[in-house]
Structure formats: structure tokens, C-alpha cells
Amino acid sequence: MKRIAVALLLLLALGSCARGDHKTHIYLQRFFGECGAEYGGSTDVDHAEGECGIITTLINRFNAENPDVHIDVNVVAWPGYPQLTAQMAARDPPDLVTMHEGVISDYALKGLLEPVDWYLAKAGISTADFTDASRTGVTIGAHEYGLPWDTHGGLFHVNTALFAKAGLMRSGKPVLPNSAAELIAQAKQFEERTGKPYLIQSLVGDPAGAARNLYTYMMAQNAVLFPDPKHIRLNTPVGVQVATFFRDINVLHLGTRNMDTPGAIAAFVNGEGGIYPTGTWMIGSFQQEAETRGRPLYKSYAVFPYPRLWGNRVEYVSGHTWVVPTRKRTPQQREAIARFFKFMAAHNYDWARTGHIPAFKSVLADPRFMKLPHRADIAPLAAMGRQLPPYVQRQSAIEGLVGEEAAAAFTGQKSVPQALSDAERRVDALLGHLN
Amino acid sequence: MAASVQRGRLTPLGWAALSLGALIMVAPLLWTLLLSLKDNAELVGHSDAALHGPYTLQNYAAIFGNSLTTRWLLNSAIVALGQTAGVLILASLAGYAFARLDFPLRKTLFVIVLLGLAVPSQAVILPQHELFAWLHLHNSYPGLILPGLVAPFGVFFMTTYMRGIPRDLDEAAMLDGASRWTIFWKIIVPLTAPAQSTLAVFTFLGAWNDYWWPLISATRSDMYTLTVGLAAAQMNYAQTSGLGYLMAQAIFASIPIFIVYIVFQKQIVRAMAGAALR
């Protein structure tokens, strides 16, 4: 018993040991998973794959190239905001954090994030080099609140073999619709000729997907989703039109039903439908399938931004950024953060290999980027991408509420006006409670 | 009642029902095990590939490669054992005091302890977090262990159990010159072994599986417990390319619990049955 107690005390003491080096330490908190087993000791960014592999090797490389600085990495469960909020409440936030653009306002409007203008200037990064989508994603008022790192949004992932069978290929490219009526017509043609659904949909447990569809096609028609910081407007003629369109797809059996995200991914990978509308983050996995002989997607994969169905070519997007929580820091730590910004900006191309759209115009125009599979096709997302207004707080929670109600409308669980009205009521209640 | 159930008296239908129930209980565990033995790439889009070979141990090798999993396992063990030991000690002492000693405001204090049963942990999470921040205890073992020591259920449970032990035993020991401590340590504690086992099992499982407090208190990777660490290790959207690795981590995480159950099976079953009958 005594031995156990002594061992326990020794372990407790061990856990409290302090560092003894003379480096400037920066605490970085990120999601994207933990893959130390595969990339823990690697600085070979060129050979790293996937979000986790690339970010891990990038940080390893930064540490290797900056012997006077050490980035201590803390990997959090996606998206990591409960932990960040707790850390801020404890007045011990990290120095650098990965944050979605839509979440910045939650923290920045309370003074919990530093404007990063000084760091950008110190790193020699010009905001003029940010893509339109990235710049609006990190700007509140006259300040930037993060280093934009990518733009991500919905894409139409296409099975070109099935499209060819459906007679919907021209000059080696899939023919995508240019209006809602055209989409319905093409979907019917696809269904008749292939016997498979045109759309693969994940409408179960994927509120983000449903919200993305609703936001995108309402924004394309210049709908004002948030007339002020406290209210959302969805139950409008435009909102009803968009939701009814997605409802019609299900009524006409032109899309899969009762699928969650893993089910939809499996269905697309197994060639069970023509188009799977999901995000930039799936390009890597699908491309791998397209390069594997014998798989249903082998040499049969293409991907594009959402097609224009009404109004303008606009798409709801978000993006990953690096933000700097407010706290006391030494001049050396500030300088180290600026150096990190410079390093990450210089390696934005490496990150773009994940499938996300670069945050910098120079990378977007880089021939290396354009030579990556499908990137020339999806690059327009950087220009057509739109976020929610920066004065809207709790965008992530709102997306969940809107997505639940939108999915209920699309699947027929609720009438379209009822679902949109319920979404408005729930979101307005949420926003009404904020200071 | 448990003792009255005799072996070998189940009808074939009963055996069939029990077998079916067992199969339903075990199926998710078997599925997890099979997934953990498959190549990750093979599982993208084809999770039913787990039903046939080839199988591999590469996901388990990855755990022992350069991962923090073993550290998280150690953290979970320290926290769960620390909480279990602490709760047993404190609940036994408090239970003895409430059951046997007369002191001012005893009943009032006991009611206050009982009120603790009605307060969900989420309701006190903000002041608790503030307090631990003020004490600089976040990202430390004491920070992870101490909140779990507040165990009103344990105090209530031990008090109730000890009240059931005849006072004659205490009085006889006192006549023999035993002190309060001797009575507690040499007589009462051994008699409460079944209750201690029950409380230990519940506390250990609760601490091992806890997610909420470690999530916001242990904010540095090296201080994560297994539950938080495994959640953080998920590396991509909808777990499309690391499913086998995730399942291997889950199997690895459950091994200590499995061993505890195998070793202490009799005590645990007896404790559960005792708790149910009391």
C-alpha cells in the first residue's frame, strides 16, 4: 500500500516538472487530428498526406528551422472551442489557435482575440494577397483577426463514368445544370439511363450540409439572411423557393434518402450515384479512389463548385484561420508568432494539397497549384465564396439549427414554410439571448 | 435471491434467449475488433470489408509508434485509481461519522450532502473551472482527480450501509478498550467490503469514462485522459480514412477495464448483486 502511494506521488511530481530549455515557447492549439505515429518525427512536407500529416510535418519543420523557438502543439477534438473557451475563462489561452472564420466573431467581438495586423506587417504579409473569400472571412471592421489559411465549402463531386452513361459528358467534362429546371431534367435523364440516383445526399445527422445548400442558393439570389445581428430571415419567397426545390428532388426520387455522412461517402465511393455535394475536404480521399485500379471511381472522378441555379454564381463558404487569443506575451513570443505566420503563409501551397482552396492569390495562381488534380476546376470558389456577415455571432450553432430545420423541409418531415419559420424562431431566440 | 438460482435449470429456450442476448451485447465489440484489424484504406466506403481477411496489426503497431496513447492510458489510470481511492477513503470516513457519531448539525450536514445528489455537475462547472484556474490546478493530476472526490452518492451509500451494521459490535469493541479509529479501521471497514467494492466499481468506471471535466481542465495533449485523447486523435471528416486506427485505439483503451473485470469478476458480480438487493 505504501509503495503504491509513493509511486503515485512520484508520478504526480513527474507530471508537474517544468521545462528547462532556453527557447521561446509558443502554445499552438489545433484540430485536424493526431498522427504522431506516422508523422511525429517527419519534416518532409512534400511527402505528407492529408490535413493531419501536412500540418504535423509543417510544424515539425518550423521547429527544425527555428532553433530558438519551439511550438508546443496541443491537439484538440474537433472543433476544440469548448476547450478554448475554458482556457480563456481560466485566463490561460494558447498563443495560436486554428479557428473557423465563422467563429471569429464570437471571440473577437468580446476582445478575446488580438487583431493580427501587427503580426501580418511584421511578417511582411500583405492583406492584398488574400483571396476575396479569405479577406472577408478574417476582417471585422478595420482589422484582421486571423491569418487566413484556406477556403472550404461545398462542391459537386461527380462520378464521370455514370455521367457518361447518362449522356451528360461534353468534351470530357460533366455537363452541370445552369438552372433549377435544368438540374431536374438532367437528374431524370441520369436516373433513366443509369438506374441510379442523380444526387447522393447525406440528410441524416449532417445539418451543415443542408444549411450549406439553403444558404448558398439564397445568397445567390441576393437574399439578406441576417438583416441585423439579432435576426435571421429564411421564411421568404426566396427561401421557400430553394427549400421547395430540394424537397422536389426527394419527392421525385432523384436523390438518395435516409443516409448519414459515412453512408453517403460509401455510396459515392462505390459508384451508387452521380453527384455527391460535400466539401473540399473530401477531394483527397475521392482522388485516391480515382487513382486505384479496380475501384468504381477509377479514372471517373471530377469535382466542381456548386453550379449556378438561380441569380449569381455565389457560394456559402468558410475557412480555417490562425488566430491569436488575447493574453500577455513577451516581445520574443510576439516575434515568434509573426515568424510562424510568415512560415505558414509561405507554405500555403502545401496546405492546399489537402483539397482546400488557398487563402492567397499568389498560391491560387501558382502553376504548382493549378497542376494539382481538379484544382483549376475548383479555384473559382475563392472568388465566388461568401461568408455570413461578421456581426453575426454563434454562426456554428446557427448552422446546426438551420440545418436541422432545412433537412426536415427537404425530407418532408415538416412543410417548407413550417420548417423555415421554426428555424427563424429558434435562431432568433438564440441570438436574442446574446449581449 | 442470487444464491437461489441453481445452475443447469435453464430450459433450451432460456439458453437460446440468453445466447441471443449475449450475441447482441458482444456484436458491437466484435465489430470494433474486426475493424481495428483492417487496413484503413480498405475501410473507406467498405466497412463490411472487416468481415473478411486479410487482417493486419498495423493499427496496433501505430499506437505504440510515436503516439501519445500510452501517456493517455497512464493518465486515465492515475486519475481513475486516484479518484477511486479518494472516494473510498472520504466516503467511508464521512459515512462512519454520519452513521455513528453525534456532533452538532449532523442531520443538517447530511441533508446538505444529499442535496449534492440533485446538483448536476454541469451546473457548477463554471465556478469549479474558475476555482481550479485560481489554484493553478488545470493540466495537473490533482486538477483531474479532486473534483471527482466530491461524491455525495458515495457518502450517502456508505452512511446507509454502515447504519445497517449493529451498534453492538462497536459497543463490544469499546468495552475491550478499542478506540474510535480502531473500531472504524478494524471492524467497520472490513464489514463494509461489499459496499466498498460496489462504490469502487462505480467510481472507477465513472472516472475512466469521464469526458466533460478532462476536456476543459486538461487542455494540453500530454495531460489528456484516454477519452479526450481518442476524440482528439480523430483525424478527418466523418472518420473516412482512419477508421481502423480509431477502433484499435478504442480496443486498446478498453483492455485495462477488461482485465479489471476478468480479475475481479466475482467481486464485481457479488457487489452488483449486493447493491441490487440492499
Q: A226 with A305, same domain?
A: yes
Report residue B264's pLDDT band, with 50, 70 and 90 as the boundaries.
confident
CB A307 within 8 A of CB A158: no
Give pLDDT tens digits for A301-356.
999 999 999 999 999 999 999 999 999 999 999 999 999 999 999 999 999 998 89
Residue A429 confidence (pLDDT): 97
Distance from C-alpha of A383 to C-alpha of B256, rounded to nearest angstrom = 53
- The answer to whether residue B46 is domain-embedded is no
- The answer to whether residue B255 is domain-embedded is yes
Which of A302, A330, A355 terminates a domain? The answer is A355
CB A9 within 8 A of CB B34: no
Q: A229 with A275, same domain?
A: yes
CB A431 within 8 A of CB A229: yes
Residue of B43, B145, B219, B243 to mutate when probing chain A, most A C-beta within 10 A: B219
Distance from C-alpha of A368 to C-alpha of A377, rounded to nearest angstrom = 14
B164 touches chain A (CB under 8 A): no
Which of A331, A355, A379 terminates a domain? The answer is A355
As given in the structure block, the three cell numbers for residue A145 are: 483577426
Q: Which of A129, A126, A137, A72 is nearest to A103 (CA)?
A: A137
Q: A291 with A328, same domain?
A: no
Taking CA–CA distances from B228, the nearest residue in chain A reads A77
pLDDT surpasses 50 at B1? no
Q: A183 with A304, same domain?
A: yes
The rounded percent of chain A whose pLDDT value lies above 90 is 78
pLDDT surpasses 70 at B114? yes
Q: Find where cell 495533449 sits.
A: B221
- The answer to whether residue B242 is domain-embedded is yes
Report residue A94's pLDDT band, with 50, 70 and 90 as the boundaries.
very high
pLDDT surpasses 50 at A18? no
- The answer to whether residue B20 is domain-embedded is no
- The answer to whether residue A60 is domain-embedded is yes
Neighbours of A235 (CB within 10 A): 18
**A6-20, A105-119, A296-310, B31-45: least confident range:** A6-20
Q: Are strands A24-30 and A69-75 parallel, antiparallel or unpaired?
A: parallel
Give pLDDT tens digits for A122-148.
999 999 999 999 999 999 999 999 999
Report residue B126's pLDDT band, with 50, 70 and 90 as the boundaries.
confident
Those residues with Cβ within 8 angstroms of residue B136's Cβ, 6 or more apart along the chain or in another chain: none
Distance from C-alpha of B190 to C-alpha of A332, rounded to nearest angstrom = 60
pLDDT surpasses 60 at A399? yes
Report residue B235's pLDDT band, with 50, 70 and 90 as the boundaries.
low
Task: Tell me whether residue A164 is exposed, middle or buried, using C-beta atoms within 10 angstroms of its C-beta: 0 to 12, 13 to 18, 19 or more.
Answer: middle
- The answer to whether residue B119 is domain-embedded is yes
Give pLDDT tens digits for A259-292.
988 889 889 999 999 999 998 888 888 998 899 8
Q: A312 with A400, same domain?
A: yes
Give pLDDT tens digits for A372-392.
999 999 999 999 999 999 899
pLDDT surpasses 80 at B4? no
| Residue A30 φ/ψ, nearest 5 degrees | -145, 160
Cβ contacts (< 8 Å) between B65 and chain A: which residues? Answer: 36-38, 40
Q: A102 with A170, same domain?
A: no
Q: Which range has highest mean pLDDT (A423-432, B42-51, B193-202)?
A: A423-432
A9 or A408, higher pLDDT: A408
Q: Which of A115, A133, A135, A117 is nearest to A125 (CA)?
A: A117
Any bridge partners for residue A321, and if so which? A99, A148
Give pLDDT tens digits for A145-181.
999 999 999 999 999 999 999 999 999 999 999 999 9
Contacts 24+ apart (CB under 8 A), B97-105: B98/B155, B98/B159, B99/B158, B99/B159, B99/B162, B99/B163, B99/B165, B100/B162, B100/B167, B100/B170, B100/B188, B101/B180
Residue A207 confidence (pLDDT): 92
Neighbours of B110 (CB within 10 A): 17
Mean pLDDT of chain B: 85
- The answer to whether residue A2 is domain-embedded is no
CB–CB contact B138 A90 (8 Å): yes
Q: A286 with A325, same domain?
A: no
Distance from C-alpha of B267 to C-alpha of B261, rounded to nearest angstrom = 9
Range of the domain at A307: 153-317+389-432
- The answer to whether residue A376 is domain-embedded is no
CB–CB contact A266 B242 (8 Å): no
Q: A157 with A293, same domain?
A: yes
A29 touches chain B (CB under 8 A): yes
Any bridge partners for residue A386, and if so which? A316
- The answer to whether residue A11 is domain-embedded is no
| Residue B224 φ/ψ, nearest 5 degrees | -65, 150
Report residue B6's pLDDT band, with 50, 70 and 90 as the boundaries.
low
Range of the domain at B189: 55-277
What single-letter DSSP state applies at residue A185? H
Those residues with Cβ within 8 angstroms of residue A241's Cβ, 6 or more apart along the chain or in another chain: A310
B231 touches chain A (CB under 8 A): yes
Question: What residue type is A197 in one-letter code?
Answer: P
Task: Tell me whether residue B176 is exposed, middle or buried, using C-beta atoms within 10 angstroms of its C-beta: 0 to 12, 13 to 18, 19 or more.
Answer: exposed
- The answer to whether residue A52 is domain-embedded is yes
Cβ contacts (< 8 Å) between A27 and chain B: which residues? Answer: 220
- The answer to whether residue B108 is domain-embedded is yes
Residue B241 confidence (pLDDT): 65
Residue of A75, A206, A261 to mutate when probing chain B, most B C-beta within 10 A: A75
Taking CA–CA distances from B220, the nearest residue in chain A reads A74
CB A321 within 8 A of CB A97: no
Domains identified in chain A, total number? 2
Q: A175 with A196, same domain?
A: yes
Q: Find where cell 462520378 sits.
A: A159
B181 touches chain A (CB under 8 A): no
Q: Which of B231, B206, B208, B218 is nearest to A86 (CA)?
A: B218
Q: A299 with A340, same domain?
A: no
Average pLDDT over residues B45-65: 82
Mean pLDDT of chain A: 92
Q: Which of A33, A282, A288 has its CB closest to that of B235? A: A33
Distance from C-alpha of A89 to C-alpha of B134, rounded to nearest angstrom = 11
Residue A4 confidence (pLDDT): 56
Report residue B216's pLDDT band, with 50, 70 and 90 as the boundaries.
confident
Residue B220 confidence (pLDDT): 82
Buried/exposed code over A392-404 (b: 16+ C-beta within 10 A; e: otherwise): bbbbeebbbbbbb
Report residue A49's pLDDT band, with 50, 70 and 90 as the boundaries.
confident
Q: A201 with A282, same domain?
A: yes
- The answer to whether residue A367 is domain-embedded is no
Domains identified in chain B, total number? 1
Average pLDDT over residues A38-46: 88
A74 touches chain B (CB under 8 A): yes
B134 or A35, higher pLDDT: B134
Residue A7 confidence (pLDDT): 59
What single-letter DSSP state applies at residue A273? -
Contacts 24+ apart (CB under 8 A), B107-115: B110/B159, B113/B152, B113/B155, B113/B156, B114/B152, B114/B156, B115/B152
pTM equals 0.80
Cβ contacts (< 8 Å) between A268 and chain B: which residues? Answer: 45
CATH code of the domain in which B163 resides = 1.10.3720.10
Q: A61 with A173, same domain?
A: no
